[in-house]
């Protein structure tokens, strides 16, 4: 942010005053710091909104309605209804609403978009996402451990990027099944199946997400001519595996900076936001696009069933078969009470 010649950091806002002071010292910043975000109104042209998910909508609507441009962390909001309020506020005040799906700025994502659109694989047959790592919940706040404040578990934390990328590549997608281990809380693992129509033909897909164990962190798209593979650790290229061959081909964009000069994709996201403000162009991910992934998330949770967990399910089944424990019989002999020593 500080590297942009078109941006001046003029204010910081956080309820945690010690964190505010730490940021000011660490980055040698001279802006004014506020505990109440409302005090920035009239002092700024744009805001990066990185608050807990459940306050994206009320704070975002207030800022947008006052003509302040907003770059909002993903997900845009908890529900479709909240997203629509944010989009309406942006339209009414002619304010820019951008959403932080940084994976859209990866060269690998743009390559996949071009290859899918050009029918490089021929007729698409299926896709498969697997993303997982042990832990990774934010230690600064407990908001993402409650559905009322986070909107969900791993499907929201990690899956927001996956769902956005899926919609970006394949268009409208519907969920056909969703299983998770929420059991009344938020889920740490989920398995979901999707269906789409690409070039008039059905496309099926599977997504597996985890916050308890490592997964390959990759997307595979299978078509009649072969398979495209994109790994989360490699943002500059995709791998092509032709059908009937053991060869692997790396595909990169025509023009990329040297590997040791790879751009900061969060910085590119910020530059895109600033450019939208300065020129009136649409940001890479606007509010309407971000709403689609929230709607898909709601559909997943609406049809959720329990993920099969034999180590847990077997115990619950035994307890159910045993039935309720009988109440103590008042007439039954009781063990003698122990007398205390004098």
Same domain, 71 and 123: no
Same domain, 110 and 252: yes
pTM of the model: 0.87
Q: Is the model's pLDDT at 308 over the cut of 90?
A: no
Q: Which residue has the higher pLDDT, 202 or 325?
A: 202
Same domain, 147 and 76: no
Q: What is the radius of gyration, based on Cα positions, of the chain?
A: 25
Q: Which residue has the higher pLDDT, 336 or 23?
A: 23
CATH number for the domain harbouring residue 230: 3.30.360.10
Same domain, 234 and 137: yes
> Token digits for 140?
């600064």
Same domain, 254 and 114: yes
Residue 273 falls inside a structural domain: no
Same domain, 109 and 159: yes
Give how far the C-alpha of residue 5 lies from the chain's centroid of Cα atoms, to the nearest Å. 30
Same domain, 123 and 173: yes
CATH number for the domain harbouring residue 64: 3.40.50.720
Same domain, 168 and 147: yes
What pLDDT does residue 139 have?
A: 60
What pLDDT does residue 303 have?
A: 98
Residue 201 falls inside a structural domain: yes
Residue 313 falls inside a structural domain: no
Average pLDDT over every residue of 16-39: 86
Average pLDDT over every residue of 102-107: 95
The tens digit of pLDDT for each residue in 54-75 reads: 999 999 999 999 999 999 999 9
If you count DSSP H runs as helices and E runs as strands, how many of each does the chain have, helices first? 10, 14
> Token digits for 334?
């009781």
Count of structural domains within the chain: 2
Same domain, 50 and 170: no
Q: Where are the alpha helices (DSSP H) in the chain?
A: 17-26, 56-65, 80-93, 107-117, 147-150, 154-157, 159-170, 265-279, 287-302, 310-322
Residue 316 — pLDDT band, cuts 50, 70, 90?
A: low
Q: Do 52 and 144 form a contact (C-beta atoms < 8 A)? A: yes
Q: Mean pLDDT score of the chain, rounded to an integer?
A: 89
Residue 140 — pLDDT band, cuts 50, 70, 90?
A: low
Q: Do 187 and 153 form a contact (C-beta atoms < 8 A)? A: yes
What pLDDT does residue 138 have?
A: 65
Same domain, 72 and 148: no
Q: Is the model's pLDDT at 109 over the cut of 90?
A: yes
Residue 339 falls inside a structural domain: no
Residue 259 — pLDDT band, cuts 50, 70, 90?
A: low
Q: Do 291 and 168 form a contact (C-beta atoms < 8 A)? A: no
Containing structural domain, residue 158:
103-258+287-305
Same domain, 212 and 299: yes
What pLDDT does residue 5 have?
A: 85
Same domain, 137 and 180: yes
Q: Do 129 and 219 form a contact (C-beta atoms < 8 A)? A: yes
């Amino acid at each position: 942010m500080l590297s942009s010649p078109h941006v001046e950091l003029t204010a910081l806002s956080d309820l945690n005053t010690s964190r505010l002071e730490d940021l000011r010292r660490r980055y040698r910043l001279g802006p004014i710091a506020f505990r109440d975000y409302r005090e920035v109104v009239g002092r700024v042209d744009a805001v990066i909104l990185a608050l807990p998910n459940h306050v994206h909508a009320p704070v975002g609507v207030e800022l947008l309605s006052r003509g302040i441009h907003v770059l909002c962390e993903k997900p845009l909001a908890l529900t479709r209804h909240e997203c629509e309020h944010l989009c309406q506020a942006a339209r009414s005040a002619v304010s820019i609403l951008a959403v932080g799906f940084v994976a859209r700025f990866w060269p690998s994502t743009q390559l996949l978009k071009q290859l899918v659109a050009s029918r490089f694989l021929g007729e698409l047959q299926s896709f498969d996402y697997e993303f997982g790592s042990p832990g990774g919940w934010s230690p600064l706040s407990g908001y993402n451990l409650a559905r009322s404040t986070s909107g969900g578990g791993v499907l929201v934390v990690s899956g927001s990027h996956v769902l956005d990328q899926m919609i970006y590549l394949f268009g409208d997608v519907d969920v056909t099944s969703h299983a998770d281990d929420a059991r009344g809380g938020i889920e740490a693992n989920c398995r979901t199946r999707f269906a789409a129509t690409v070039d008039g033909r059905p496309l099926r897909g599977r997504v597996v997400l985890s916050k308890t164990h490592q997964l390959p962190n990759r997307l595979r798209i299978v078509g009649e001519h072969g398979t495209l593979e994109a790994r989360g650790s490699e943002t500059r290229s995709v791998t092509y595996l032709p059908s009937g061959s053991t060869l692997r081909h790396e595909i990169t964009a025509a023009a990329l900076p040297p590997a040791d000069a790879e751009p900061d994709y969060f910085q590119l996201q910020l530059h895109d936001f600033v450019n939208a403000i300065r020129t009136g162009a649409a940001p890479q991910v606007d509010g309407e696009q971000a709403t689609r992934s929230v709607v898909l998330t709601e559909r997943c949770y609406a049809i959720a069933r329990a993920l099969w967990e034999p180590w847990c399910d077997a115990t619950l089944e035994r307890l159910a078969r045993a039935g309720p424990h009988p109440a103590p019989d008042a007439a039954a002999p009781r063990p003698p009470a122990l007398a205390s020593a004098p």
